[in-house]
Amino acid sequence: ASATVAIEIANIDGDGMPDFVVSAVNASLGYGELSVYLQRGDSFNLSSRVAGSFTGPFAVGDLNDDGLPDLAAATHDRVTGADTISVFLQHVTDGFGPNPGFQLSVGGRGAPGGVAIGRFTGRTFRDLVARTPGALLVYYQEDLPPVMIRAIPSDLIFNAGASGTGLIDLGTYFADDHGPLYFVVVYEENASHLHAVLAADGHHLDFASAAGWYGSERFQVAATDAGPLWIVSNTFTVTVNALPSFTSPPPTRVRAGEKLLYQVTVADPYPTDDAHTFALLQAPEGMTIDGTTGLVEWTPTA
């Protein structure tokens, strides 16, 4: 299928060298991609790619006044029929994430035929303008407090003895209309069991559990855009999973021609309702294991 391609040139990463953003949109599929290429010496390397139901018009510019250009793209939802402008905010350390930081409604005026970013009000902030059928819509940057766009889930888990580094990207749960977000951990149920700290990038949350400990602990974080108001998250749970251990001693001797039945059993202290599956990683020819029950069967030949 063919796609309509457009290119915008901008200094994306702030190194003073021009980079470019490529928009490729397939109107018949209602799908498009924005690809960011950064200049490195005499070549351009793909840095980030975001996908969505883009319609074609897009713009590059700083829409949260953090000094980094962001992406704004006209979007059409084929399910609801809604036309919006999706804004993808650039992170300092890892570029553009897959989800928009926020979306702007065009108020049912129809699909935007053009999008631009600039200082339309004379202020230092850059604003966004969209051309829709019969109207030009101007969106001003305001310095409102951050908002929590979705709850942090309680299904986060890692194994005892393993690393919980980067387990949560807090930037995917909060959004702000202006400036970068700053996070802090405001509640840890028992830090001696499971401790949370912000990673060096400022938006990932790292977890470290005490040696030999397993279980679940609750946490809360808060976000600010450097203003006086902190927005507190929901309380969420992080689980450290105990690894199962074998409790059934394996047979060490079998007779040729006699069928071996060996029932594998395991102990798994946490979570107690864990479901287990079984597999043979190495086995003699003809040996099988039931992946659900753990029953090993084998009839050795002479």
Question: What is the tens place of the pLDDT at every residue in 8-64?
Answer: 999 999 889 999 999 999 988 989 999 999 999 889 999 999 999 999 999 999 998
Q: Give strand pairing partners of 195.
A: 208
Measured CA to CA in angstroms, residue 40 lies from 13, 17, 20, 44, 97 at distances of 11, 9, 12, 6, 21
Tell me what pLDDT residue 302 has.
74
- Is the pLDDT assigned to residue 124 strictly greater than 80? no
For the chain, helix, strand, coil in percent to 5 are 0, 50, 50
Q: Cα 265 from chain centroid?
A: 37
160-183: average pLDDT:
90
- Is the pLDDT assigned to residue 293 strictly greater than 90? yes
According to DSSP, the β-strands at 19-26 and 4-10 are: antiparallel
- 106 compared with 120, residue with greater pLDDT: 106
Which one-letter amino acid corresponds to residue 125? F
Q: Give strand pairing partners of 168.
A: 205
Fold observed for domain 147-241: Immunoglobulin-like (2.60.40)
Integer Cα distance of 47 and 70 in angstroms = 14
According to DSSP, the β-strands at 156-159 and 236-241 are: parallel
Q: What is the mean pLDDT of the chain?
A: 93
Integer Cα distance of 262 and 283 in angstroms = 13
Tell me what pLDDT residue 145 has.
86
This prediction's pTM: 0.55
Fold observed for domain 4-139: Lipocalin (2.40.128)
Measured CA to CA in angstroms, residue 42 lies from 12, 38, 39, 209, 243 at distances of 17, 11, 7, 46, 50
Ordered by start, the domain boundaries in the chain are 4-139, 147-241, 244-302
Sheet order of strands, 83-88 included: 54-61, 70-76, 83-88, 102-105
Integer Cα distance of 130 and 121 in angstroms = 15
- Is the pLDDT assigned to residue 141 strictly greater than 70? yes
DSSP 171: G
107-120: average pLDDT:
92
Tell me what pLDDT residue 92 has.
72
Integer Cα distance of 248 and 262 in angstroms = 9
